[in-house]
Structures are given as C-alpha cells and as structure tokens.
Amino acid sequence: MGTAERQRATADEHETSRRQSGEHHRETEGRGEPEYRRELWVEEPARRRRLPDPVRTAAVRAVIIVALTLIQAMTAFLCALAGSWLSFPMVLGSVASTVVATWGVLDVWVTRQVWNQRNGVVSVPSSTARQLRRERRRARRQARTTARNEERIRRRGGAGQLSHP
C-alpha cells in the first residue's frame, strides 16, 4: 500500500468515524452534500511496539558512530584524491572508526538479546518468563490482600477483641 493509498484509506476511515459519531458538518453550497474537514493530525496505532530504553539508547549511539565513521571515511577518500598529507592519518582514523562502529552495531544486537532474556519476550506460551510474571503477580496480590486485612483489623480497633463491647 503506497503513501497516497494509505492517506486515502485513513481519510475514509476518519470520515466514516465522524459520520458515526454525529460530528457537525457544513453543507456545501448548492450541492447539499456535507463537507468534512480532515484534521491536521490523525492518530494511528503503532504497527510495532517501541524498543526498550537500553536497546534504543544503544541504537542511537550506533547510528551516530556509524554516521561519523562514514563522514570520516569520505573525508579520507577526498584527501587521498587531492594528494593531501592528511590522507594517511585520516585513513588510519577511518580504520579505527570502522572497528568502533562495528562494536556499536554489535552492542545493539547484544543489548537486545540481553533485554529479551531478562524480560522474557518470547512467544512460547509456557515460557519461564510468563511463569515468573504470574508468580510475581500472585505475590503482589497476596501482599495487597494481607495489607488490606491488616488495615481492616486496625480500623476495627484490633486489640484482640473477639466481639463488640
């Protein structure tokens, strides 16, 4: 689906939802057809979930490092074409930057794998991660119930009374 088709589909969906919600519209002159104004900003649901913070941080760092490496490599190439004395140090720096950029990209991959393992993003229904989450939820529920019961006892005057005086 191209951009124009997506925009048309979004506009059609928006127009349909406006008609269903009963929003006000103006009549166009002479034709008697309603004119719907398309809003400037239409909220669309995300297709994919957002990256976790550590992975996003590593990805941003990697993109910046790779961009700087490409700039440095291009500068080294142009210096070599021009026959400048600066080309040799620039080539050495480009080689070092390439190593650092490779490390940055691998860092994104490793960070993502570690995050997935620690936080249990797996699709197997009987995964260990889901079981751990269930146990944590059960423990939190138990703690809330215990706290509620203790609060209820305190409100009643809870000095070990078995009945009202």
Contact 10, 44 (CB under 8 A): yes
Q: What percent of the chain has pLDDT over 90?
A: 44
Residue 151 pLDDT: 86
| Most confidently predicted of 42-51, 106-115, 148-157 | 106-115
Residue 39 pLDDT: 81
The Cα 74–Cα 91 span in angstroms is: 10
Which stretch of 73-77, 109-113, 120-124, 141-145 has the lowest confidence by average pLDDT? 120-124
Tokens of 139: 């423990």
Measured CA angle at 17 (ends 16, 23), to 5 deg: 105
Three-class SS of the chain: CCHHHHHHHHHHHHHHHHHHHCCCCEECCCCCCEECCCCCCCCCCCCCCCCCHHHHHHHHHHHHHHHHHHHHHHHHHHHHHHCCCCHHHHHHHHHHHHHHHHHHHHHHHHHHHHHHHHHCCCCCCCCHHHHHHHHHHHHHHHHHHHHHHHHHHHHCCCCCCCCCC
Would you say residue 34 has pLDDT above 80?
A: no
Mean of pLDDT values over 85-105: 95
- Higher pLDDT: 82 or 161? It is 82
- Residue 39 CB partners (closer than 8 Å, separation 6+): 14
pLDDT tens-digit series, residues 55-77? 999 999 999 999 999 999 999 99
Mean of pLDDT values over 35-55: 81
